[in-house]
Amino acid sequence: MNVEMWKAQLESGTPEEKREAIRSANEFPIESIIDSLMKALYDENKAVQEAVIEFLMQRNEPIVVEKLLPLLREENASVRNAAIEILEKIGRDKVDLIGAYLNDEDKDVRLFVCDIIGKFGTESALDYLIKALDDPEVNVRNSAVMGIGRVKSERAVKALEELLNREEDTWVRFSIIDALTQIGLPSAKEVLRKALFKENNEVVLKSLLDGIAKFGDDDFIYDAMYVFEYLMTRKLSDIYSDIVELGLRVDSIDDKRLRYKFGVYLCAYIKYSDDRWTAYRAVNVIPKLGECAEDILIDVLNSVEEPMIIASAIEGLGEVGTSASLEVLERFKNSDDERQRELAEEAINKIKSRE
């Protein structure tokens, strides 16, 4: 079969004949059949289209990439998505060809380009992704950020740091924080920490704090302390909920003074926050504080009235209390709340058995 007969079969044959032609396409120079293959991507038969996709995924010649790129403008979503899928597979070594389309006037094309090269995770892709950080379209910048997060290099960290300092869109800023966390280098954590001390958006503060905690070391607790102090000068915020969650790791802190300070902040939250469910969760964190936990739990019992919180604080004293707790616990033995009476009796017995 010559190339003309092959083209005729691909264009006019039955679906099975078309697939057979595609399977034999390697017999011909790619330059002589590429246009016919591009046309076959539009075939209404899904199996034919999939056969073309499978074939082109094995051919990473420049001409294939060049022919696929204009399809990023294609209104036919099936064809456009096929082109994206193939380019993601074969384009790793053809970044320059793909990246050139970041100059396209169509914002959707620029977005598709960032999505494609962002999957590569290579330094060559990074050159173009950094360029896209200056794109006026927020979706393009966001896609570029996510792609940069796949490149574990100091240059990637630097680019994201510079964008974090100037980016105003909150959604993109969230993506920058996530990308830095994904990169995972020590320098990436330092960028997040520096940003934390300059940030005044409470929602972004939450994201920064979460990102720092994901690095798995104890620096997060010092940053949590900073956020506590920052917010103590302002109206109490929902961000306390996330700090309480981080406090579940408070038993990893060796510094007793720092534990106590953290406990004082938790106590303030328990007393004054409108979010009573999180306040209850905070009470459950306090026994992890060690020696200072007893004083803080006694303070809670002397300051709050919610039965749920009181019950949790009494149980906490049962775990960490000493004879210094007996007086306040005796008071709850006479409570009108049956549950409080039972817990107080149980806590007193535990303390006495320990001493």
Largest CA distance in the chain: 100
Sign, CA torsion 266/268/270/272: negative
pLDDT for the residue numbered 210: 85
Question: How far apart, in Å, are the Cα atoms of 69 and each of 51, 57, 76, 79?
Answer: 19, 14, 14, 11
The span from the CA of 18 to the CA of 11, in Å, is 7
- Name all domains of the chain by residue range, CATH numbers in brackets: 218-355 (1.25.10.10)
Report the candidate in 292, 293, 310, 311 with the shortest Cα–Cα distance to residue 301. Answer: 310
pLDDT tens, residue order, the chain (355 aa): 789 999 999 999 999 999 999 999 999 999 999 999 999 999 999 999 999 999 999 999 999 999 999 999 999 999 999 999 999 999 999 999 999 999 999 999 999 999 999 999 999 999 999 999 999 999 999 999 999 999 999 999 999 999 999 999 999 999 999 999 999 999 999 999 889 878 878 788 888 888 888 887 766 677 777 776 666 555 545 555 666 666 656 666 677 777 787 788 788 778 877 778 878 888 988 998 888 899 999 999 998 999 999 999 999 999 999 999 999 999 999 899 999 999 999 999 999 998 7
Report the candidate in 256, 229, 255 with the shortest Cα–Cα distance to residue 243. Answer: 229
pLDDT for the residue numbered 317: 95
Report the candidate in 187, 186, 249 with the shortest Cα–Cα distance to residue 222. Answer: 249
295 burial class (0-12, 13-18, 19+ CB within 10 angstroms)?
Answer: middle
163 burial class (0-12, 13-18, 19+ CB within 10 angstroms)?
Answer: buried
pLDDT for the residue numbered 236: 46
Sign, CA torsion 226/227/232/234: positive
pLDDT for the residue numbered 201: 84
